[in-house]
């Protein structure tokens, strides 16, 4: 088995030199490097060793409560004690108040070390952001310090048996009870719906406060405690992420508080969802990087065949293996840069329509990159890739969900090709491609073709029929532009020859 090593150098190179983190007002380079280094040590020493254990044991439902695998409670206690759950929370609520860029680096390392545990912890920043934007002062004072300290973890309760991607089918009912509300209904596929790591759970629940005929306008967002009328009726048996309890929850006369305005639940919930979608993209990046690390170490060590001079060859000496290793590495580095550029644009706040256009692109490409890199890793390791010994199979199984949850990739592709083309975001995207890859003839030529396609799509009444092809081409253009930027600053990386060689492959393919 290859021990997990956090890709801190690659992350910092991407943030500093490709995405231009220094443009963000709250970027502190030395502090960012220090925080990421400290978390990397924690992830390598505490979180990563539990990854295989969690996969083998899984979460268990015992007498109505979820029991996490061995070591998870103790690791979470250290995570909370270190203040990591409050990394983004304001200082006045007990948090570190660090930038979203630092949090992006930490999130990738967390996912690469132990995606299942990260899944249970990762909704806290989105919950805090939602309360800051839509919560009352009392709700903020009650919950944000507890979320930041790690005393409480949070969930996002949207999906129901009859309402998956189409939330208009939600039936979970909210009824007024004096100044409060009562919830009745069921939610499925709730990550971290219960666990024994934190002392409490804050559930953010999208429920119907209006009539069914009101559709999405009849949905409101509520918060409630996991201790009050919330029952875990089952946990799902899944392909991967065995240590992340995916729960079915029953709300029975559950006391709840309205978050934001009645009927405005979807807008409030999207604060959590948009954070989650970029986080999913980083999960894909983390899996791509981890798959690349495992495959590279194995290929460099495994003796297989002979060189032309008759001497023993390493697996990495063979041309087809080199091709696959290069594709893995290029996917990880390029997808990471795509995410970081989006995060920096978000931090600068000058082109919000561009950020809205980039978010689904990052989600689609990042998740696909993780799955593809893991699949290549299985091929590189051959028979050992199909066994559990090197964990590459777990990487693929854990990565596979990323193209499904937080909006299936096909839905995001349709959004890119329809709603995404109606606003200024698509024009700003063309400007961004010029900024990143203007020096590359290949990128410039691809951009010209893309603009022609974009303009034709804008005039199409049935543009969604080309949505998949258009979104994939758009993501690939963004990927190549990021790699052109990587090539232009390669000498700032600890291994400039590696970056230059990969860039040449990407830009010539």
- The candidate with the shortest Cα–Cα distance to 103, out of 189, 187, 194, 11, is 11
Extended beta strands in 268-353, E state? 303-306, 312-314
Distance CA 413, CA 355 (A): 15
Helix (H/G/I), strand (E/B), else coil: 60: strand
Distance CA 123, CA 153 (A): 8
- Number of Cβ within 10 Å of residue 60's Cβ equals 12
Distance CA 109, CA 341 (A): 18
Residue 107 in contact with residue 99, Cβ under 8 Å?
Answer: no
* Helix H or strand E segment including 224: strand 219-225
Distance CA 290, CA 367 (A): 14
Helix (H/G/I), strand (E/B), else coil: 66: strand
Bridge partners for 225 per DSSP: 202
Residue 278 in contact with residue 211, Cβ under 8 Å?
Answer: no
Helix (H/G/I), strand (E/B), else coil: 295: helix
Annotated catalytic residue 406: yes
Distance CA 411, CA 388 (A): 33
- The candidate with the shortest Cα–Cα distance to 39, out of 7, 1, 2, is 7
Radius of gyration, alpha carbons of the chain: 23
Kindly name the residue from 186, 345, 406, 413 that is annotated as catalytic. 406
* N-terminal to C-terminal alpha carbon distance within the chain: 33
- The candidate with the shortest Cα–Cα distance to 287, out of 181, 421, 188, 401, is 401
Q: Which residues are catalytic?
A: 406
């Amino acid at each position: 088995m290859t021990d997990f090593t956090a890709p801190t150098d690659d992350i910092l190179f991407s943030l500093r030199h490709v995405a231009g983190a220094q443009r963000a007002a709250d970027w502190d380079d030395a502090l960012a490097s220090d925080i990421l280094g400290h978390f990397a040590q924690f992830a390598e020493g505490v979180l990563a060793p539990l990854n295989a254990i969690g996969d083998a044991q899984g979460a268990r439902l015992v007498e109505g409560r979820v029991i996490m695998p061995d070591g998870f409670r103790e690791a979470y206690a250290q995570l909370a004690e270190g203040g990591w759950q409050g990394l983004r929370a304001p200082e006045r609520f007990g948090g570190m108040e660090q930038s979203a860029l630092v949090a992006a680096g930490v999130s990738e390392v967390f996912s690469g070390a132990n995606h299942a545990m990260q899944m249970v912890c990762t909704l806290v920043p989105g919950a805090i952001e939602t309360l800051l934007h839509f919560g009352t002062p009392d709700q903020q004072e009650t919950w944000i310090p507890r979320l930041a300290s790690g005393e409480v973890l949070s969930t996002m309760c949207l999906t129901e048996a009859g309402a998956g991607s189409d939330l208009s089918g939600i039936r979970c009912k909210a009824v007024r009870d004096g100044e409060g509300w009562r919830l009745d209904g069921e939610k499925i596929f709730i990550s971290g719906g219960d666990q024994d790591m934190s002392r409490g759970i804050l559930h953010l629940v999208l429920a119907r406060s209006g009539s069914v005929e009101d559709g999405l306008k009849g949905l409101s967002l509520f918060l409630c405690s996991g201790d009050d009328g919330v029952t875990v009726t089952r946990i799902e048996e899944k392909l991967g992420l065995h240590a992340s309890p995916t729960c079915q929850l029953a709300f029975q006369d559950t006391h709840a508080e309205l978050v934001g305005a009645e009927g405005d639940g979807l807008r409030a919930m999207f604060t959590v969802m948009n954070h989650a979608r970029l986080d999913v993209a980083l999960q894909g990046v983390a899996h791509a990087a981890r798959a690349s690390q495992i495959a590279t170490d194995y290929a460099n060590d495994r003796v297989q065949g002979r060189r032309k001079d008759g001497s023993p060859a390493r697996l990495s000496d063979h041309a087809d293996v080199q091709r696959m290793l290069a594709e893995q590495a290029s996917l990880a580095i390029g997808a990471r840069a795509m995410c970081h550029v989006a995060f920096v644009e978000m931090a600068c706040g000058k082109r919000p329509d561009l950020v809205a256009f980039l978010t689904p692109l990052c989600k689609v490409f990042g998740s696909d990159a993780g799955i593809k890199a893991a699949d290549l890793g299985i091929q590189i390791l051959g028979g050992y890739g199909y066994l559990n010994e090197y964990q590459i199979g777990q990487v693929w199984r854990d990565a596979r969900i990323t193209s499904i949850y937080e909006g299936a990739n096909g839905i995001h592709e349709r959004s890119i090709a329809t709603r995404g083309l109606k606003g200024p975001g698509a024009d700003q995207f063309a400007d961004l491609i010029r900024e990143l890859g203007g020096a590359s003839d290949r990128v410039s030529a691809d951009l010209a073709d893309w603009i022609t396609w974009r303009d034709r799509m804008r005039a199409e009444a049935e543009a969604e029929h080309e949505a998949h092809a258009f979104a994939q081409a758009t993501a690939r253009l963004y990927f190549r532009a990021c790699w052109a930027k990587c090539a232009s600053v390669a000498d700032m990386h600890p291994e400039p020859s590696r970056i230059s060689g990969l860039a040449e492959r990407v830009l010539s393919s």
